[in-house]
A and B are shown apart, each in its own frame.
Chain A
């Protein structure tokens, strides 16, 4: 391994030196270090790390000269942070690439990230906060034979931690911008796209038939007319059973998904209506493996991504195996001087999203069972998640700016977290957030956040026989409140104190304060941040992809830099 890394480094350095000799090239890069100490805290269930300190760090170096770019990423997990997959272990250069383009053809060798359409059939990406990096390793070609026509094709294997999954992906994508192709300057613009991807994995099941080549295709259409924007995509995946020996678990059904959205916007007003449905669309880089590291497609989330702690306490995880959802968003900004707008105008955002299961679950097909859910069913289906929220953003005067949110969320904790119905039940949370920042003097800003979450149990599980209220097997977390004070002396310093208090926990021993202190310093391209605090065990999501975060207690250090 070490020999491999040294060889790669030497080869890369040599090539960079050769290219850099005539001094026309440019180096860019960035560095990120995350270190955290882990002390035991029995009350919150935090475990001490044997290593005391865990660390993730990354260094990206890119070199560009004309139409040639090369680069690498050195990654170090010594050992990986507790909320990371422990398979990330050790040091290495798992990402290195070289790209050049000539006469409209771009060639990439090595690692690359790629997404076809909105990702329904294929998405290779990096999301450090989730511990996801399924970069491809192989070759990619992009070519534009005509104005408005974009083709790309690739072949490669998908990264999993420090190695690559078994599956080999072959993909192709074409996109046509109709207006550009025919050079017509109309008010209505149309972009058509289509993609296909196929995964090869050797067959290794003596009992059941397994497809070695699993294909998926998708078509998309984007029409833009003034302030109106329509985007629709449909995807289909052929049978892709897991490699099992139990007949009842073998599923030969094909998968499909669609997503549709209409956006209308004009000055001071915008509406978005979205709908999506997925059925049996989990596509993995290795049919034998489970876990986020092996996901090779992405179903865009259909709920608003919240940044405030209590609004994000119970986030929605997208169910690629089967869900139907709708979302509506209305944005408006009232005029300055109007009754609602006041002196500076007021921004409103009303958002509603609702996601439920498919009728009878996702498609299923084997020698004994055949089930295809009806296309659209809402009433009577199991509710996974619902969120209705109103956000009001207002500048009150030159010194004070405020943001208020009121929300009601329904969270099917049992389903979304994989518990047995009746362990935790379905929660309904009403959340209020007030976020006010006050500019004390030039460069000095004080920001205060106050949040409260009132939780109720929606369904009656009293017949379930659990020992907690309403027949639950596990104690409810109940109500939360949260306060935050942040003092910023721009451009260099900031200090934050935050307390999350679980005042309503049914288990009185767990009615705890989770206090966090953070201080940071920015100078030029460098940023330093230290912190100390306790984190609650929970689910953390980005774009509907979620990970479990264990409770922790300790100090943290973050250093980032770029050049």
Chain B
């Protein structure tokens, strides 16, 4: 009897094996790399009547992927982002434009293609396919989120300094820059939305300033596990004044009304991009003074 029991247990145990055959992924379309993050740069303007549709699309994508999608609204151009004359007050008196927004708009030729328009991790720059209409964003974000990561970014900040730690995930050889920006949300101000002028429109993740755009490391060799730390000291009042001066003196038809920043609604956005392809390979955000 015992022999039979032993034999039976051998059969039972040896058959206890599940060898999996590829493809190993159950549903590739819905796959998302949980560590990958995507930056949507939404080029917009408070005088652009179709732009709130793009902002709503960005919110919808954010609702699906959560914190893996980071938005940034860049108000650009004289046509769509200039403040109205003082005689037209109180409507559209604020100037959301920044020197960096205007520079990137010119460099990447976004508004020339018509607003609203955006870039998803700036992919496609080399073949001129980077200027995406809002209806192309969701698919591009889904594809980007499948990519593997070469960096992880951590942000910590207090009232005077921001610390960025970039952790290398793979051995790589390429040129990368690190960009650190501040954005502000919950700004209640005027916005054209279709045929309406909305007085109390909520402007979110508006680009306020760029603190650095510099090489991540002085070497092009990155080793898995390596951590690169950068600490940036900042003075919010001086940065705010810089934007006021830009609006007053440089931006076309500006009025210097670019202040009133609220630090408690601000976030730090840090991203790493390949200086040759311009692709943003990883991005992270965190509340200022986190």
Which residues of A come within 8 Å of B, CB atoms? 105, 143, 145, 151, 153, 170-172, 196, 198, 200, 206-215, 238-239, 241, 245-248, 250, 252, 365-367, 419-422, 463, 465
Contact = CB atoms under 8 A, between A and B. Distances in A.
Contacts of A105: 2
B174 interface: no
Interface residues of B, number: 34
Contacts of B224: 420
A239 B20 contact: yes
Contact of A214 (B10, B17, B24, B146): B17
A211 B218 contact: no
B11 to A, nearest CB: 10
Interface in B1-34: 2-3, 6, 9-10, 12-14, 16-20, 22-27, 30-34
Contacts of B3: 145
21 contacts: A143-B6, A153-B10, A172-B10, A198-B13, A200-B16, A206-B26, A207-B27, A208-B24, A209-B24, A210-B20, A211-B18, A211-B19, A213-B16, A239-B19, A241-B24, A250-B24, A366-B22, A367-B24, A419-B225, A420-B226, A465-B219
B223 interface: yes
B199 interface: no
A211 B22 CA distance: 12
Contacts of B34: 245-246
B20 A252 contact: yes
A366 B226 contact: no
Contacts of A421: 223
Given A246-B34, A420-B223, A465-B219, A367 B6 contact: no
Interface in B26-46: 26-27, 30-35
Contact of A367 (B2, B13, B25): B25
Contacts of B9: 153, 172
Contacts of A145: 2-3, 6
A252 B32 CA distance: 19
Contacts of A250: 24
Given A153-B13, A172-B13, A209 B19 contact: no
A254 to B, nearest CB: 8
Nearest first, the 5 closest Cβ-Cβ pairs linking A and B are: A215-B17, A211-B18, A198-B16, A420-B225, A213-B16
Interface of B: 2-3, 6, 9-10, 12-14, 16-20, 22-27, 30-35, 146, 148, 218-219, 223-227
Nearest to A172: B13
Given A211-B18, A246-B34, A365-B22, 13 more contacts: A105-B2, A151-B6, A171-B13, A172-B9, A208-B26, A211-B19, A214-B17, A241-B24, A246-B35, A246-B148, A367-B23, A420-B224, A420-B227
A435 B27 CA distance: 65
B22 A252 contact: yes
B222 to A, nearest CB: 10
Contacts of A213: 16-18
A196 B14 contact: yes
Given A245-B34, A419-B225, A421-B223, A215 B16 contact: yes
Given A207-B31, A420-B225, A420-B226, A170 B19 contact: no
A210 B24 CA distance: 8
Contacts, number: 94
A210 B26 CA distance: 10
Nearest to A254: B19
A241 B21 CA distance: 12
A207 B26 contact: yes
Nearest to A365: B22
Contacts of B24: 208-209, 241, 250, 252, 366-367
B20, B148, B218, most chain A CB atoms within 10 A:
B20
B221 to A, nearest CB: 8
Nearest to A251: B24
Given A143-B2, A247-B31, A196 B13 contact: yes
Nearest to B17: A215
B18, B25, B31, most chain A CB atoms within 10 A:
B18
A251 B202 CA distance: 46
A198 to B, nearest CB: 4
Nearest to A151: B6
A238 B22 contact: no
Contact of B17 (A153, A198, A208, A252): A198
A468 B24 CA distance: 45
Nearest to A199: B16
A210 B20 CA distance: 7
A493 to B, nearest CB: 50
B18 to A, nearest CB: 4
B205 to A, nearest CB: 26
A286 B159 CA distance: 44
B269 to A, nearest CB: 23
Nearest to A250: B24
Contacts of B223: 420-422
A422 B14 CA distance: 46
B5 to A, nearest CB: 9
Contacts of A365: 22
B25 A207 contact: yes
Contacts of B33: 245-248
Nearest to A418: B225
A127 B22 CA distance: 39
A145 B4 CA distance: 12
Nearest to A366: B24
Nearest to B32: A245
A102 to B, nearest CB: 11
B25 A170 contact: no
Contacts of A422: 223
A465 B222 CA distance: 12
B216 to A, nearest CB: 13
A175 B25 CA distance: 40
A151 B31 CA distance: 46
A513 to B, nearest CB: 32
Contacts of A151: 6
Nearest to B18: A211
A238 B9 CA distance: 20
A165 to B, nearest CB: 17
Contacts of A143: 2, 6
B6 A209 contact: no
A464 B223 CA distance: 10
Nearest to B19: A238
Nearest to A174: B10
A214 B18 CA distance: 6
Contacts of A420: 223-227
A170 B35 contact: no
B14 A208 contact: no
Nearest to A210: B20
Contact of B26 (A153, A209, A214, A366): A209
A143 to B, nearest CB: 7
Contacts of A247: 25, 31, 33, 146, 148
B17 A238 contact: yes
B13, B22, B33, B226, most chain A CB atoms within 10 A:
B13
Contacts of A153: 6, 9-10, 13
A153 B10 CA distance: 9
Contacts of A419: 225
Contacts of B227: 420
Contacts of A198: 13, 16-17
Nearest to B34: A245
Nearest to A420: B225
Contacts of A171: 13
A153 B30 CA distance: 43
A345 B156 CA distance: 68
